[in-house]
């Protein structure tokens, strides 16, 4: 299976003051670490799903992905700042140091936080919920390891993010979800 490595997250979150939702992964995969950007594995369906949900073309290349996210009012980051991990295996993660979400939450009007997969959601609940004080909605993972979800099913499940992207952009328009 490989050996544990202690790794630190090496790239910044993507967001700006107009971001309305925050999507959190667990920790960058081997391919993402090689590419120095999120969801770098060619089989990960993250970019295809977001493009479909927002009605945009699938972005290619880091700069285009950043522009797409900002234009779509979507911010992304990971729950973990550093951890011990074997390769890209979320199930091997241990010795977690969580990310500091205040970097985004203090600068953007984030209306909802979403977790890309069950492990990101579990780690959010354990490490970040107490400090963030905000609920996080679990979405099915876009990872190629999540073979139970077809691309079509992922698009359907992920379409819930549109609600917070299409709301009135007036200050104070934040709605508490039941």
Q: Would you say the pTM of this structure is higher than 0.85?
A: yes
Mean pLDDT, residues 33-41 taken together: 94
pLDDT, tens digit (0-9, with 9 covering 90-100), for 82-131: 999 999 988 999 999 999 999 999 999 999 999 999 999 999 999 999 99
Report residue 48 as tokens.
């295809």
pLDDT, tens digit (0-9, with 9 covering 90-100), for 62-81: 999 999 999 999 999 999 99
Q: What kind of fold does domain 5-165 have according to CATH?
A: Uracil-DNA Glycosylase, subunit E (3.40.470)
Quick check: 142 and 115 in contact, CB under 8 A? no
Q: HSE on the CB side for 106, CA within 13 Å? A: 5
Give the residue among 34, 35, 13, 16 at the shortest CA–CA distance from 25: 13
Report residue 100 as tokens.
């500091």
What are the extents of the domains in the chain? 5-165
**176 exposure class (CB count in 10 Å sphere: 0-12, 13-18, 19+):** exposed
pLDDT, tens digit (0-9, with 9 covering 90-100), for 125-177: 999 999 999 999 999 999 988 989 999 999 999 999 999 887 554 444 343 33
């Amino acid at each position: 299976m490989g050996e544990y490595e202690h790794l630190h997250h090496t790239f910044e979150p993507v967001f700006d003051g107009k971001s309305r939702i925050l999507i959190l992964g667990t920790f960058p995969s081997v391919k993402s670490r090689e590419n120095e950007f999120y969801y770098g594995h060619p089989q990960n369906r993250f970019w295809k799903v977001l493009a479909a949900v927002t009605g945009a073309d699938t972005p290619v290349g880091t700069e285009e992905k950043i522009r797409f996210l900002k234009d779509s009012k979507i911010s992304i980051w990971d729950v973990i700042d550093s951890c011990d991990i074997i390769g890209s295996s979320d199930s091997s993660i241990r010795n977690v140091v969580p990310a500091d979400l205040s970097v985004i939450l203090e600068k953007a009007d984030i209306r909802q936080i979403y977790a890309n997969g069950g492990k990101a959601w579990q780690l959010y609940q354990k490490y970040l919920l107490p400090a963030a004080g905000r609920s996080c909605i679990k979405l099915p993972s876009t990872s190629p390891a999540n073979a139970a979800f077809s691309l079509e099913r992922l698009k359907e499940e992920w379409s819930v993010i549109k609600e917070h992207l299409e709301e009135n952009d007036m200050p104070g328009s934040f709605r508490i979800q039941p």
